[in-house]
Amino acid sequence: MKLVILDRDGVINFDSDQYIKSPQEWNPIPGSLEAIASLTQSGYRVVVASNQSGVGRGLFDMATLNAIHAKMHKLVAQAGGRIDAVFFCPHPADSRCQCRKPKPGLFHEIAHRMHVDLAGVPAVGDALRDVQAALSVGARPILVKTGKGRLTLEGGELPEGVTICEDLREAANILISEME
Q: Which residues are catalytic?
A: 7, 9
> What are the residues facing 143 on neighbouring strands?
125, 164
Nearest to 163 by CA among 138, 145, 136: 145
The answer to whether 39 and 4 are in contact (CB under 8 A) is yes
Q: Give the torsion through C-alpha atoms of 22, 164, 6, 59, to 10 deg.
A: -30
DSSP 24: G
DSSP 45: E
Helical H runs in 7-52?
32-41
CA 48 and chain centroid, separation:
5
